[in-house]
Amino acid sequence: MTIRFTFAAAIAGALVFAAPVAKAQEFINILTGGTSGVYYPMGVALSEIYGQNIEGVRVQVQSTKASVENLNLLQQGKGELGFALGDSVQYAWEGSEDAGFKAPLTKLRAIAAIYPNYVQIAALKEAGVTTAADLAGKSLSVGAPKSGTELNARAILEGVGLTYEDLGKVEYLPFAESVELMKNRQLEATLQSSGLGNAAIKDLASSQDISIVSVPADVVAAIGAPYIAGVIPAGTYQGQTEDVPTAAVVNLLVTHEGVSDETAYQMTKLLFDNVDTLKAAHSAANDISLENAVKDLPIPLHPGAEKYYQEQGVLTQ
């Protein structure tokens, strides 16, 4: 009896050790921005697309302070996909300490250029601000310190010959908090860098008389790349009856070199296979196109993304 039991136990033990090891679940953490911006709803839409179409993957969406934080987290391997402004990505690759990067972030890899962010400056109508140069002496919220939005704010002000010292007051607040201060007459203007149809500015325009402040094309040209001239079309916000010129800079989806080629390939393919779903999440996705996805990227493509673009004929092998 003892011998048979020992033999059976040995066989059972061997079977246990011989059993295949379960494959570790793969994670995709999508780094976005504040919940009132555009990155967040787009990230939520991508999380649903990936979760439904990539076998064995667990996807989550993380609200962050956006571009600069996202890029630093990607470098640390604390996310697999992040939204970021093109100028922030360039500063990250170069290691610009003034922009919030202590050293070059050499692990970053591009998935795609997606849609442009528009610099959108909203001011209370009573403040009398119609163009960016009129911000002198006014109170302005410029986004979180060293965020992509705040880097945009510095560039725009410099383009019209102003610095923070020329303003009446500077606040470093997320979009929604900036709007709340404006509703309470504690702030005259907010600069927000996002896709058109920003939820926070829509909220503000629904309850306050506001002006959408222009950034003239000659100012944008003086600032130079990666900024391009853009237009906020009439009717984007309640009470906006005319087109407003402004500056724009392209957003990127960024990953890092530690993400597998297959995962990066799937993230890229599913992005373009489901553009209509992204458009339903936010109108900013109307500007996503395969043709523009690899133009003027400031960092190398991930090999997995590169494979997809080669298959589509966007890149030659």
The last residue of a domain, from among 249, 270, 303? 249
CA-wise closest residue to 167 among 192, 195, 191, 199: 191
- CA dist., res. 3 & res. 67, Å (int): 67
- Amino acid at site 182: M
Q: Which two tokens stand for residue 76?
A: 């640390």
**Residues 170 and 264 grouped into a single domain:** no
Q: Is 126 within 8 Å of 204 (Cβ atoms)? A: no
In this prediction, residue 20 carries a pLDDT of: 40
**Residues 150 and 184 grouped into a single domain:** yes
Tally of CA atoms within 13 A in the half-sphere of 204 that contains its CB: 36
Asked if the structure places residue 22 within a domain, the reply is: no
**Residues 239 and 174 grouped into a single domain:** yes
CA-wise closest residue to 159 among 119, 197, 132, 126: 132
**Residues 111 and 260 grouped into a single domain:** yes
Q: Which two tokens stand for residue 287?
A: 């500007």
Asked if the structure places residue 11 within a domain, the reply is: no
Structural domain range at position 62 = 27-115+251-311
**Residues 159 and 214 grouped into a single domain:** yes
**Residues 89 and 183 grouped into a single domain:** no
Report residues of the chain scoring pLDDT below 70: 1-24
**Residues 202 and 219 grouped into a single domain:** yes
- Quote the pTM value: 0.78
In this prediction, residue 317 carries a pLDDT of: 72
**Residues 66 and 180 grouped into a single domain:** no
- CA dist., res. 85 & res. 132, Å (int): 21
Asked if the structure places residue 241 within a domain, the reply is: yes
Q: Is 50 within 8 Å of 267 (Cβ atoms)? A: yes
Q: Is 45 within 8 Å of 115 (Cβ atoms)? A: no
Asked if the structure places residue 199 within a domain, the reply is: yes
**Residues 124 and 226 grouped into a single domain:** yes
> What CATH number does residue 104 fall under?
3.40.190.10
**What's the number of domains the chain is made of?**
2
DSSP 41: H
- 202: which residues sit within 8 A by CB, 6+ positions away? 237, 238
Rounded to 5 degrees, what are φ and ψ at 2?
A: -65, -40
Asked if the structure places residue 133 within a domain, the reply is: yes
Asked if the structure places residue 94 within a domain, the reply is: yes
Q: Is 302 within 8 Å of 111 (Cβ atoms)? A: yes
**Residues 72 and 39 grouped into a single domain:** yes
- 8: which residues sit within 8 A by CB, 6+ positions away? none
The last residue of a domain, from among 249, 271, 286? 249
Question: Which sign, positive or negative, has the C-alpha torsion 65, 69, 71, 75?
Answer: negative
Asked if the structure places residue 131 within a domain, the reply is: yes
- Amino acid at site 155: A
**Residues 128 and 244 grouped into a single domain:** yes
Q: Which two tokens stand for residue 8?
A: 């059976």
The last residue of a domain, from among 198, 230, 249? 249
**Residues 242 and 258 grouped into a single domain:** no
Asked if the structure places residue 4 within a domain, the reply is: no
In this prediction, residue 225 carries a pLDDT of: 81
